[in-house]
Amino acid sequence: MWFYNVTFWLLFCQQVTSLNSCDNNEDHKSTEFMYSKENNEMLALIQDSLKNYVNCPFSNCSCYADTITKDLSVFKNGISDVMLNAAKTRGTTYKIIDGRLYRNADCMFPARCIGVEHYLRKLSNKLPDLQIVLNTRDWPQVTRFQGEVLPVFSFSKTKDYLDIMYPAWAFWEGGPAIKLYPRGLGRWDKHRQSLDRAAQQWPWKEKLSVAFFRGSRTNSERDSLVLLSREQPDLVDAAYTKNQAWKSEKDTLYSPPAEEVALEDHCKYKYLFNFRGVAASFRLKHLFLCESLVFNVGNEWLEFFHTALKPWVHYIPVKSNATKKELRDLLDFFKHHDDIAHKIAKMGRDFIWNHLRNKEVFCYWKLLLKKYSRLLNFKPKLHGTEIEIV
């Protein structure tokens, strides 16, 4: 058995040629860990994932075209004005008429509408006449299990919903507001640059070999990591911050709330954890640009670009109910396989850097709305109650 495991390790080093070398110089804490069944299974899983992955060759948003096709497929028989009228209570109605952008006078979340309108306004003269209902709530609106299937645009959903995904407002404005970002997280174009600078200040070999997380206790999925941090602070630095609903230390798992940490300061850590919030987390795309290894907990909630990111290639998938032991074993694995960790971290960073620029966000909006407009079986028109967005 010992010979089989050593042979497997040598073969893995030879076959994954993109990993320049296998680090045989680390001070491995446990021979049993290095040659365990679980260790070998994970090595094989990573090997297969890397071998079978085909990098997206496109320099535009075609990496995400399948998402548009899938989201619109349920409306292959067309979209009527009756359907849009039935959907109007689930979001804000936007219209593009003769190259000009209009919407309802009321918007539930003004900053979120501004974030969306930044893209729609710039694209309006390049698009045909169209009408959409756009949901700016956190939660999707069209369940596949009951009620009429209606065309509603939402930024995030699970497999249980049929909403049409669009690039979230937070690419420009209207993301979560915290002390560090009092006007809300936004300006993805600027964060790309600041995170790139931070990543250069903290190259892989200088990063702390510690898992890191800061965020509010939106749900209990985060508890295991925070509790592990309290037991092993040399392995994990994870703590809860206040949110708007904070009332007592019960809301931060019976410890004083931690201070918020700027996204750029995450880059000093090798291992970064992402958890869902109420829906998909706005944090995820930012973490990749640190060129740290991203551990993405749960895979239920999607944004438009998520399906192009592949587990074990761009990030490490973690189940939502992972125990402290499972998290510890996972981190120990990547501590013992530093070259593999760095390889995946770099592939995740490179994908987001090359394929999720503002250019791709504009491209996705344009492609989505053009394909959507072809499904309309009526000619949109103004009713005199809309306001023009200029």
d(CA 136, CA 194): 27
The one-letter amino acid code at 308 reads A
Taking phi over 0 as left and psi of -120 to 50 as alpha, with beta for the rest, 337 belongs to beta
The one-letter amino acid code at 63 reads C
d(CA 280, CA 286): 13
In the DSSP assignment, the letter for residue 291 is T
In the DSSP assignment, the letter for residue 29 is S
Cβ atoms of 372 and 132 within 8 Å: the answer is: yes
Our answer to whether residue 138 is catalytic in this structure is yes
The one-letter amino acid code at 290 reads C
Minimal CA–CA distance to 325: which of 232, 212, 213? 232
Residue carrying the six token digits 């009228």: 85
Question: Is residue 120 exposed (0-12), middle (13-18) or buried (19+ Cβ within 10 Å)?
Answer: buried
The enclosing H or E element of 318 equals strand 316-318
Lookup: tokens for 59: 């320099």
Cβ atoms of 65 and 368 within 8 Å: the answer is: no
In the DSSP assignment, the letter for residue 305 is T
3-class DSSP assignment, residue 262 = coil
Lookup: tokens for 238: 């994870």
The one-letter amino acid code at 366 reads K
d(CA 141, CA 277): 17
The one-letter amino acid code at 288 reads F
Cα 140 to Cα 76, 184, 301: the distances in Å are 21, 21, 10
Q: Which of 23, 81, 138, 251 is catalytic?
A: 138
Cβ atoms of 120 and 101 within 8 Å: the answer is: yes
d(CA 168, CA 103): 18
Q: Which residues belong to the active site?
A: 138
